[in-house]
Amino acid sequence: MSIVAVAGCGSTGRDRAGTVERPDPVSPVHQNQGGTLSAEQARAALLTVMDLPTGWSAKPDTGAAKKDSSDDYQECPKLAAVFKKADSADDISAGFTSPSDSDLSEAILPMTLSAAESLVAEFSDVVTTCKRLSSNTDDGMPFDMYMTALSFPKLADETFAFRTTATLMGATVNADMVLVRRSGVLCFIVHTARGRIDTAATEDVAQRAFAKIEKGL
Protein backbone atom coordinates (compact mmCIF):
# COMPACT_ATOMS: atom_id res chain seq x y z
CA MET A 1 0.00 0.00 0.00
CA SER A 2 1.92 3.00 -1.24
CA ILE A 3 0.12 5.62 0.83
CA VAL A 4 2.06 4.51 3.88
CA ALA A 5 5.28 3.21 2.40
CA VAL A 6 7.41 5.21 4.83
CA ALA A 7 6.03 7.27 7.68
CA GLY A 8 6.98 9.50 10.53
CA CYS A 9 7.84 9.68 14.15
CA GLY A 10 8.53 11.53 17.31
CA SER A 11 10.17 14.63 15.97
CA THR A 12 11.89 17.02 18.33
CA GLY A 13 9.45 19.95 18.09
CA ARG A 14 6.32 20.42 20.21
CA ASP A 15 3.70 18.70 18.07
CA ARG A 16 0.05 19.43 18.75
CA ALA A 17 -0.74 15.78 18.12
CA GLY A 18 1.10 14.18 21.00
CA THR A 19 1.70 10.43 21.00
CA VAL A 20 -0.50 8.19 23.11
CA GLU A 21 -0.58 4.45 23.66
CA ARG A 22 -3.83 3.93 21.80
CA PRO A 23 -6.53 6.55 21.24
CA ASP A 24 -10.14 5.52 21.38
CA PRO A 25 -11.33 5.69 17.75
CA VAL A 26 -14.88 6.70 18.60
CA SER A 27 -16.61 9.77 17.19
CA PRO A 28 -20.15 11.09 17.06
CA VAL A 29 -22.50 8.86 15.07
CA HIS A 30 -24.19 10.37 12.02
CA GLN A 31 -27.24 9.34 10.06
CA ASN A 32 -27.05 7.19 6.92
CA GLN A 33 -24.78 4.63 8.53
CA GLY A 34 -25.03 2.27 5.57
CA GLY A 35 -24.01 4.94 3.06
CA THR A 36 -21.05 4.66 0.76
CA LEU A 37 -19.87 6.17 -2.54
CA SER A 38 -19.43 4.83 -6.03
CA ALA A 39 -15.92 5.01 -7.49
CA GLU A 40 -17.03 7.99 -9.60
CA GLN A 41 -18.48 9.79 -6.59
CA ALA A 42 -15.33 9.08 -4.57
CA ARG A 43 -13.12 10.60 -7.28
CA ALA A 44 -15.35 13.68 -7.30
CA ALA A 45 -14.98 13.90 -3.50
CA LEU A 46 -11.17 14.02 -3.63
CA LEU A 47 -9.59 17.30 -2.62
CA THR A 48 -8.17 19.51 -5.35
CA VAL A 49 -5.62 22.26 -4.93
CA MET A 50 -8.50 24.75 -5.04
CA ASP A 51 -9.85 23.22 -1.81
CA LEU A 52 -6.61 23.94 0.07
CA PRO A 53 -5.14 27.10 1.65
CA THR A 54 -2.81 29.48 -0.17
CA GLY A 55 0.57 28.07 -1.14
CA TRP A 56 -0.30 24.41 -1.73
CA SER A 57 0.37 22.78 -5.11
CA ALA A 58 -0.85 19.57 -6.74
CA LYS A 59 1.61 16.78 -7.42
CA PRO A 60 1.34 15.51 -11.00
CA ASP A 61 0.23 11.94 -11.59
CA THR A 62 3.25 10.30 -13.22
CA GLY A 63 1.33 7.15 -14.08
CA ALA A 64 4.08 5.04 -12.50
CA ALA A 65 3.16 1.50 -11.52
CA LYS A 66 2.45 0.95 -7.82
CA LYS A 67 5.27 -0.73 -5.90
CA ASP A 68 4.41 -4.04 -4.27
CA SER A 69 5.38 -3.34 -0.67
CA SER A 70 4.09 -6.59 0.82
CA ASP A 71 7.63 -7.83 1.46
CA ASP A 72 8.33 -4.73 3.58
CA TYR A 73 6.17 -6.06 6.41
CA GLN A 74 7.14 -9.72 6.63
CA GLU A 75 8.05 -9.26 10.31
CA CYS A 76 4.41 -8.43 11.00
CA PRO A 77 1.97 -10.49 8.90
CA LYS A 78 -0.97 -8.61 10.44
CA LEU A 79 0.36 -5.34 9.05
CA ALA A 80 0.97 -6.83 5.61
CA ALA A 81 -2.60 -8.14 5.59
CA VAL A 82 -4.23 -4.86 6.58
CA PHE A 83 -2.19 -2.87 4.05
CA LYS A 84 -3.19 -5.34 1.34
CA LYS A 85 -6.86 -4.83 2.20
CA ALA A 86 -6.41 -1.06 1.89
CA ASP A 87 -4.23 -1.24 -1.22
CA SER A 88 -7.01 -0.31 -3.64
CA ALA A 89 -7.30 3.08 -1.93
CA ASP A 90 -4.40 4.14 -4.14
CA ASP A 91 -6.77 3.89 -7.13
CA ILE A 92 -8.69 6.97 -5.93
CA SER A 93 -6.06 9.35 -4.62
CA ALA A 94 -4.48 12.77 -4.99
CA GLY A 95 -1.15 14.21 -3.90
CA PHE A 96 -0.10 17.70 -2.85
CA THR A 97 2.95 19.67 -1.71
CA SER A 98 2.63 22.11 1.18
CA PRO A 99 4.17 25.61 1.33
CA SER A 100 6.87 24.11 3.60
CA ASP A 101 7.64 21.45 0.94
CA SER A 102 6.19 18.49 2.83
CA ASP A 103 4.16 15.89 0.92
CA LEU A 104 0.53 15.09 1.63
CA SER A 105 -1.72 12.54 -0.04
CA GLU A 106 -5.41 11.76 0.24
CA ALA A 107 -7.00 8.45 -0.75
CA ILE A 108 -10.65 7.41 -0.59
CA LEU A 109 -11.79 3.81 -0.27
CA PRO A 110 -15.55 3.13 -0.58
CA MET A 111 -16.54 -0.15 1.12
CA THR A 112 -19.47 -1.81 2.82
CA LEU A 113 -20.12 -0.51 6.31
CA SER A 114 -19.00 -3.72 8.01
CA ALA A 115 -15.79 -3.91 5.95
CA ALA A 116 -14.94 -0.28 6.72
CA GLU A 117 -15.53 -0.75 10.46
CA SER A 118 -13.38 -3.89 10.42
CA LEU A 119 -10.49 -2.18 8.61
CA VAL A 120 -10.35 0.70 11.11
CA ALA A 121 -10.24 -1.81 13.98
CA GLU A 122 -7.47 -3.77 12.24
CA PHE A 123 -5.33 -0.67 11.69
CA SER A 124 -5.70 0.23 15.37
CA ASP A 125 -4.68 -3.28 16.38
CA VAL A 126 -1.60 -3.61 14.16
CA VAL A 127 -0.16 -0.23 15.16
CA THR A 128 -0.27 -1.42 18.76
CA THR A 129 1.15 -4.84 17.84
CA CYS A 130 3.83 -3.92 15.25
CA LYS A 131 5.72 -1.05 16.84
CA ARG A 132 9.04 -1.66 15.07
CA LEU A 133 9.82 -3.06 11.63
CA SER A 134 12.98 -3.49 9.56
CA SER A 135 12.86 -2.81 5.82
CA ASN A 136 15.03 -1.84 2.85
CA THR A 137 15.04 1.02 0.38
CA ASP A 138 14.67 0.33 -3.34
CA ASP A 139 18.47 0.39 -3.44
CA GLY A 140 18.70 -2.31 -0.78
CA MET A 141 19.72 -0.08 2.13
CA PRO A 142 18.32 -1.37 5.45
CA PHE A 143 16.45 0.88 7.86
CA ASP A 144 14.08 0.58 10.81
CA MET A 145 10.54 1.97 11.07
CA TYR A 146 8.81 2.76 14.34
CA MET A 147 5.04 3.18 14.65
CA THR A 148 3.03 4.77 17.40
CA ALA A 149 -0.60 5.85 17.77
CA LEU A 150 -1.38 9.58 17.80
CA SER A 151 -4.04 11.69 19.43
CA PHE A 152 -6.20 13.44 16.84
CA PRO A 153 -9.55 15.27 16.80
CA LYS A 154 -12.45 12.92 16.26
CA LEU A 155 -14.01 13.34 12.83
CA ALA A 156 -16.98 11.49 11.34
CA ASP A 157 -17.92 8.11 12.82
CA GLU A 158 -14.39 6.93 13.62
CA THR A 159 -10.94 8.48 13.46
CA PHE A 160 -7.60 6.78 14.03
CA ALA A 161 -4.13 8.28 13.54
CA PHE A 162 -0.60 6.96 13.81
CA ARG A 163 2.96 8.01 13.06
CA THR A 164 5.79 6.08 11.47
CA THR A 165 9.40 7.16 11.86
CA ALA A 166 12.37 6.07 9.77
CA THR A 167 15.97 7.26 9.97
CA LEU A 168 18.04 6.86 6.84
CA MET A 169 21.56 8.17 6.25
CA GLY A 170 21.21 10.44 9.26
CA ALA A 171 17.90 11.96 8.15
CA THR A 172 14.65 11.31 9.99
CA VAL A 173 11.54 10.95 7.84
CA ASN A 174 8.19 11.27 9.59
CA ALA A 175 4.78 10.40 8.21
CA ASP A 176 1.47 10.87 9.98
CA MET A 177 -1.47 8.86 8.71
CA VAL A 178 -5.05 9.76 9.60
CA LEU A 179 -7.82 7.27 8.87
CA VAL A 180 -11.36 8.68 8.92
CA ARG A 181 -14.47 6.54 8.51
CA ARG A 182 -17.81 8.03 7.52
CA SER A 183 -20.32 5.21 7.15
CA GLY A 184 -18.82 2.86 4.53
CA VAL A 185 -16.27 5.38 3.21
CA LEU A 186 -12.67 5.45 4.42
CA CYS A 187 -10.47 8.48 3.89
CA PHE A 188 -6.69 8.21 4.32
CA ILE A 189 -4.59 11.34 4.85
CA VAL A 190 -0.81 10.83 4.88
CA HIS A 191 1.50 13.78 5.64
CA THR A 192 5.22 13.11 5.16
CA ALA A 193 8.16 15.36 5.99
CA ARG A 194 11.80 15.35 6.96
CA GLY A 195 11.93 16.24 10.64
CA ARG A 196 8.98 17.91 12.31
CA ILE A 197 5.49 17.50 10.82
CA ASP A 198 3.09 20.44 10.81
CA THR A 199 0.26 18.68 12.63
CA ALA A 200 -1.99 21.74 12.39
CA ALA A 201 -1.80 21.44 8.59
CA THR A 202 -2.59 17.72 8.79
CA GLU A 203 -5.64 18.44 10.92
CA ASP A 204 -6.82 21.24 8.63
CA VAL A 205 -6.57 19.09 5.49
CA ALA A 206 -8.28 16.13 7.17
CA GLN A 207 -11.21 18.35 8.16
CA ARG A 208 -11.48 19.73 4.61
CA ALA A 209 -11.36 16.20 3.17
CA PHE A 210 -14.08 14.95 5.52
CA ALA A 211 -16.31 17.95 4.75
CA LYS A 212 -16.08 17.27 1.01
CA ILE A 213 -16.85 13.56 1.45
CA GLU A 214 -19.80 14.42 3.67
CA LYS A 215 -21.30 16.53 0.87
CA GLY A 216 -21.17 13.53 -1.46
CA LEU A 217 -23.06 11.19 0.87
Q: What is the pTM of this model?
A: 0.81
- 9 vs 178 pLDDT, higher one: 178
For the stretch 55-108, pLDDT in tens is: 999 998 766 666 555 566 778 888 888 888 888 777 899 999 999 999 999 999
The secondary structure of 60-102 as a DSSP string is P---PPPP--GGGGTT-HHHHHHHHHHGGGGGSEEEEE-TTS-
Domain 2-10+30-57+68-216 CATH superfamily: PknH-like extracellular domain (3.40.1000.70)
Domain-wise residue ranges, the chain: 2-10+30-57+68-216
For the stretch 169-182, pLDDT in tens is: 888 999 999 999 99
